[in-house]
A and B are shown apart, each in its own frame.
Chain A
């Protein structure tokens, strides 16, 4: 600390000076004497020095949260945790070999039994037949509309854990929003949908999941969801945040397509017993007929599967669908029960 240094100091320089900062925050007698002599030698600096200390002091006059009331409580918790840890260690060391083996067998088998109980005893499973739509109300009052030939299951205690469901087939989810403070999300406020290698994590939204032939399509209607999937290339879990109208197609362990839907609400038209297709090929139509309604579709000539119906089809049942196909495309459809054969009109 050399007094001469301070002759040309600006207000900024003072604020930036470590020695000055220490003098303002916790002055020693030596500091006080030193800065008094600075003002004595350079009286013009008095204003800067006063101004700079005012700024620092005003900033420092801020609210302090000491949480003193809970200091003992938190300490008691720390002691309790350490005691538990210590106790656990001691018991293990005191056990002789036989007891240790016996204990581990007991432990493994009881974990097994517990797992079995959780997995099988409290699991609820709902499945739909071909062509059947069913609306399921979950324990938290969220609603799932299940398409035909689909399965939904859930288990566990939703009062304490995340809400988790497993789905195969197709379902439209309207998830009840429980979270009130987005900065603090409790586990019970999360809703997770599992299908194949994809997990969909949501708070409260509506979205459509279609999971057939190891392909998973997710379309979001409202809200925001987090899609977590296993990426084959990196063998890591990756995540996508989806916004309304986003549509993600996942298959063979990677994201095949990510598109934006013009009218997201169309995702849900099947829930009104409507069959909706847009610029679809006969192969795609046949897949839905097979997956959702249990039809078996044969093409007399495999190339027929590539025929495409331009534009949108919206029909309410398979009969109308067949009629639409035969009127728009040069094909003939013969049907015996659920077996359908599509042949070309001009051979």
Chain B
């Protein structure tokens, strides 16, 4: 499963090749195609827009400066996600060395999705979303990120492992952990529906 499950507008390969040849127009296109998605992804790690903008800036400077030596990624978007993630982490590590040093188990930063501005008229759907929100919030950042990449970005496990810079086994393990953590949390909260959502992630581990 090296291909994206959801391959929306993934015909960026031509643009990527032109950009590598030094086409300013292709470079501009890359920026305009991915700017919004990159900001959205970055926003999950920090609410500090300056950090995100600095990271996007640094990422694109690096792209142009090193264009001649860049490879041909299977998915341009995934490549940009992975790079942006790295830049943001470095920036935030510099900024928060004090807070970091004591917690090595999880990320030194949070991964946070928000539903605050969603207006849902349907009562049943609103209830379901509230449940999801409550359970997801209790998960460690890495587990939240893996769920996000899977269900929001629609990525395969190989792609997730690549972006998060872990090996595929670790990706499975991480999901397994998310699953275990949730079982504990859900026992008390009776969110039977959500159990389905996470059991499936656990089941993936066995399947592979």
When chains A and B are docked, how far (Å) is the Cα of A289 from the Cα of B31?
68
Asked if A60 and B151 sit within 8 Å, CB to CB, the answer is: yes
When chains A and B are docked, how far (Å) is the Cα of A11 from the Cα of B208?
18
Binary per-residue interface labels of chain A (260-288) against chain B in the complex, 1 for a CB within 8 Å, 0 otherwise: 00000000000000000000000000000
* Chain A contacts for B101, CB-based, 8 A: 226, 239, 241
Whether A58 sits at the interface, judged by CB under 8 Å, is yes
Q: Which of B70-78, B125-133, B181-189 contacts A (4 or more CB under 8 A)?
A: B125-133
Whether B23 sits at the interface, judged by CB under 8 Å, is no
- For chain B residues 88-110, which have a beta carbon within 8 Å of chain A? 92, 95-99, 101-102, 109
Asked if B196 and A66 sit within 8 Å, CB to CB, the answer is: no
Output the least CB separation between B95 and chain A (Å).
Answer: 5
Whether B14 sits at the interface, judged by CB under 8 Å, is no
* Chain B contacts for A51, CB-based, 8 A: 193, 196
Q: Which of A18-26, A131-139, A213-221, A333-341 contacts B (4 or more CB under 8 A)?
A: A18-26
Question: Which residue of chain A is the closest to B129 with respect to CB atoms?
Answer: A58
Binary per-residue interface labels of chain B (165-199) against chain A in the complex, 1 for a CB within 8 Å, 0 otherwise: 00000000000000000000000000001101101
Asked if B65 and A67 sit within 8 Å, CB to CB, the answer is: no
Given A22-B5, A77-B57, residue A15 in contact with residue B196 (CB < 8 A): yes
Given A185-B96, A203-B98, residue A62 in contact with residue B113 (CB < 8 A): yes
Given A12-B203, A22-B6, A61-B118, residue A66 in contact with residue B39 (CB < 8 A): yes
Asked if A54 and B151 sit within 8 Å, CB to CB, the answer is: no
Q: Which of A71, A182, A239 has most chain B Cβ within 10 Å?
A: A71
* Chain A contacts for B98, CB-based, 8 A: 182, 185, 201, 203, 224, 226
* Chain A contacts for B35, CB-based, 8 A: 66-68, 71, 74-75
* Chain A contacts for B118, CB-based, 8 A: 61-63
Interface of chain A, main secondary structure: helix
Whether A101 sits at the interface, judged by CB under 8 Å, is no
* Chain A contacts for B116, CB-based, 8 A: 63
Whether A82 sits at the interface, judged by CB under 8 Å, is yes
Output the least CB separation between A84 and chain B (Å).
Answer: 10
Binary per-residue interface labels of chain A (186-204) against chain B in the complex, 1 for a CB within 8 Å, 0 otherwise: 0000000000000001010
When chains A and B are docked, how far (Å) is the Cα of A276 from the Cα of B49?
52
Asked if A61 and B129 sit within 8 Å, CB to CB, the answer is: yes
* Chain A contacts for B32, CB-based, 8 A: 71
* Chain A contacts for B1, CB-based, 8 A: 18
Output the least CB separation between B48 and chain A (Å).
Answer: 6
Chain A contact patch, size range: 35 or more
When chains A and B are docked, how far (Å) is the Cα of A49 from the Cα of B139?
26
Output the least CB separation between B207 and chain A (Å).
Answer: 7
Output the least CB separation between A292 and chain B (Å).
Answer: 32
* Chain B contacts for A16, CB-based, 8 A: 200-201, 203-204, 207
* Chain B contacts for A67, CB-based, 8 A: 35-36, 39, 43, 49, 52-53
When chains A and B are docked, how far (Å) is the Cα of A66 from the Cα of B40?
5
* Chain A contacts for B43, CB-based, 8 A: 65, 67
Asked if B36 and A71 sit within 8 Å, CB to CB, the answer is: yes
Contact of B152 among A60, A74, A239 (CB under 8 A): A60
Whether A93 sits at the interface, judged by CB under 8 Å, is no
Whether A129 sits at the interface, judged by CB under 8 Å, is no
Asked if A81 and B61 sit within 8 Å, CB to CB, the answer is: yes
Asked if B96 and A66 sit within 8 Å, CB to CB, the answer is: no
Asked if B151 and A18 sit within 8 Å, CB to CB, the answer is: no
Given A15-B200, A58-B128, A185-B95, residue A63 in contact with residue B36 (CB < 8 A): no
Asked if B128 and A55 sit within 8 Å, CB to CB, the answer is: yes
* Chain B contacts for A78, CB-based, 8 A: 31, 57, 60-61, 64
Whether B86 sits at the interface, judged by CB under 8 Å, is no
Whether A184 sits at the interface, judged by CB under 8 Å, is yes
When chains A and B are docked, how far (Å) is the Cα of A182 from the Cα of B60?
28
* Chain B contacts for A66, CB-based, 8 A: 35-36, 39-40
* Chain B contacts for A75, CB-based, 8 A: 28, 31, 35
Asked if A12 and B200 sit within 8 Å, CB to CB, the answer is: yes
Whether A13 sits at the interface, judged by CB under 8 Å, is yes
* Chain A contacts for B136, CB-based, 8 A: 59
Whether A4 sits at the interface, judged by CB under 8 Å, is no
When chains A and B are docked, how far (Å) is the Cα of A226 from the Cα of B100?
11
Whether A64 sits at the interface, judged by CB under 8 Å, is yes
Binary per-residue interface labels of chain A (73-106) against chain B in the complex, 1 for a CB within 8 Å, 0 otherwise: 1110110011001000000000000000000000
Whether A70 sits at the interface, judged by CB under 8 Å, is yes
**What are the 10 closest A-B residue pairs judged by CB atoms, nearest first?**
A15-B200, A16-B200, A12-B200, A66-B36, A67-B39, A65-B43, A11-B196, A12-B199, A63-B114, A58-B129
Would you list 9 pairs from A and B whose C-beta atoms are within 8 A, ordered by A residue? A10-B196, A11-B200, A15-B196, A55-B128, A61-B125, A63-B115, A67-B52, A71-B35, A74-B35
